[in-house]
């Protein structure tokens, strides 16, 4: 890093835009919470805020891998805002995703020997593939259980997770005292929907790809628009091979490994061109 204040504060300049956008969205949420009082206007705000909060879904994932700043205060500020926008807190990401899914994503039912199942498994116990709705509900039902299970292996992280969760509940209680209705429509319903959207968004990443080869176990979406909004989450094979690589560097890394990835697992559309499985009415790009 050079001597400029910006470079002392930010590890990567590419994190400045997400910081600004997430902060603006949070400021708008606070404004709505304080100033909107009618049921209908709160309902409209709740619906209108959700498309914008989808940005925070992908960015909270990235920030759980690599902090945006060398400032503990700034990292804490961003983590708190993201947790209030997508419901999933920073340490839940670490326990379920970093210490779970990234280690086990190629482990699907039926399991062989004493192998840990993927925390985001897309298979039923008989080895058949879940559809997208089933997968989303399955993760919603099992995420807290698997966070707790992984917390037994990573006790320090789990203590931070529980402390963070308690702090957020305290924030919700204070907000409830000010305006229960605004709390529900600004800081409860949209984040809960975002948590479900997180599961929905991740379904195409691995579903149907049963492989022990990391180059064949993920799909990549290289659409510039998709990766602008989801901060390069589309370069998913690259991310799984090098999970601690900063999100801004994933496109270049993808270029260096794309010859090893089967062509059908690299898609250029904003909305991946999945083939329709007519027998179940679900999408599958495998």
Q: How sure is the predictor about 32, in pLDDT bands with cuts at 50, 70 and 90?
A: very high
Q: Average pLDDT in the 230-236 region?
A: 96
Rounded to 10 degrees, what is the CA torsion of 208, 59, 228, 134? 30
pLDDT at 192 over 50: yes
Identify the residue with better confidence: 272 or 11. 11
Determine the pLDDT at residue 286: 41
The CA distance from 241 to 115, in Å, is: 20
Determine the pLDDT at residue 12: 77
The CA distance from 269 to 255, in Å, is: 17
Neighbouring CB atoms inside 10 A of 112's CB total 6
pLDDT at 86 over 60: yes
Identify the residue with better confidence: 271 or 118. 118
For every residue of the chain, DSSP letters joined together read --SSHHHHHBS-GGGHHHHHHHHHHHHHHHHHHHH--SHHHHHHHHHHHHHHHHHHHHHHHHHHHS-SBS-HHHHHHHHHHHHHHHS--HHHHIIIIIIIIHHHTT--SSP-SS-PPPTT--B-TTSPBP-HHHHHHHHHHHHHHHHHHHHTTSHHHHHHHHHHHHHHHHHHHHHHHH-HHHIIIIIIHHHHHHHHHHHHHHHHHHTT---S-TTSS--EE--HHHHHHTTTTT-HHHHHHSTTS-GGGHHHHHHHHGGGS-GGGEE-SSS--PEEETTTTEEE--
Determine the pLDDT at residue 278: 36
User: Looking at 8-22, 115-129, 136-150, 248-262, which range is the least confident one?
Assistant: 8-22
The CA distance from 129 to 231, in Å, is: 28
Determine the pLDDT at residue 33: 98
Which residue, among 168, 237, 229, 160, has the nearest Cα to 205 in the 3D structure? Answer: 237
Pairing assessment for the beta strands 220-221 and 266-267 based on DSSP bridges = parallel
Identify the residue with better confidence: 164 or 11. 164
Output the average pLDDT for the chain: 90
The radius of gyration of the chain's CA atoms, rounded to the nearest angstrom, is: 19
Query: Cβ contacts of residue 51 below 8 Å, gap of 6+?
Result: none
Q: Average pLDDT in the 62-85 region?
A: 93
Q: How sure is the predictor about 273, in pLDDT bands with cuts at 50, 70 and 90?
A: low
The CA distance from 22 to 60, in Å, is: 10
The CA distance from 283 to 132, in Å, is: 8
User: Looking at 109-113, 141-145, 265-269, which range is the least confident one?
Assistant: 109-113
Rounded to two decimals, what is the model's pTM?
0.88
17 burial (CB, 10 Å; 0-12 / 13-18 / 19+) is exposed
pLDDT at 111 over 80: no
pLDDT digits (tens, 9 = 90+) for 122-153: 999 999 999 999 999 999 999 999 999 999 99
Determine the pLDDT at residue 270: 75
CA angle 119-125-128, nearest 5°?
Answer: 100
């Amino acid at each position: 890093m050079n001597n400029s204040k910006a470079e002392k504060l930010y590890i990567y300049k590419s994190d400045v835009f997400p910081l600004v956008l997430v902060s603006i969205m949070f400021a708008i949420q606070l404004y709505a919470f304080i100033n909107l009082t009618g049921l209908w206007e709160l309902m409209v705000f709740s619906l209108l805020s959700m498309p914008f909060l989808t940005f925070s879904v992908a960015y909270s994932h990235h920030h759980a891998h690599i902090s945006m700043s060398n400032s503990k205060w700034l990292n804490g500020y961003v983590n708190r805002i993201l947790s209030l926008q997508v419901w999933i807190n920073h340490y839940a990401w670490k326990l379920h995703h970093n210490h779970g899914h990234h280690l086990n994503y190629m482990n699907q039912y039926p399991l062989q020997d004493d192998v840990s199942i993927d925390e985001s498994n897309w298979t039923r116990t008989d080895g058949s593939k879940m559809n997208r709705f089933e997968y989303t509900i399955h993760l919603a039902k099992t995420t807290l259980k698997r966070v707790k299970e992984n917390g037994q292996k990573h006790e320090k992280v789990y203590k931070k997770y529980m402390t963070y969760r308690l702090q957020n509940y305290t924030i919700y209680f204070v907000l409830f005292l000010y305006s229960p209705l605004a709390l529900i429509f600004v800081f409860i319903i949209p984040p809960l929907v975002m948590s479900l959207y997180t599961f929905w968004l991740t379904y195409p990443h691995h579903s149907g790809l049963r492989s022990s080869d990391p180059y064949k176990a993920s799909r990549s979406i290289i659409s510039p628009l998709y990766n602008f909004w989801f901060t390069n989450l589309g370069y998913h094979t690259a991310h799984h091979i090098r999970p601690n690589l900063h999100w801004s560097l994933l496109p270049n890394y993808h270029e260096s490994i794309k010859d090893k990835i089967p062509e059908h697992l690299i898609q250029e559309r904003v909305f991946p061109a999945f083939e329709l499985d007519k027998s179940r009415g679900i999408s599958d790009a495998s």
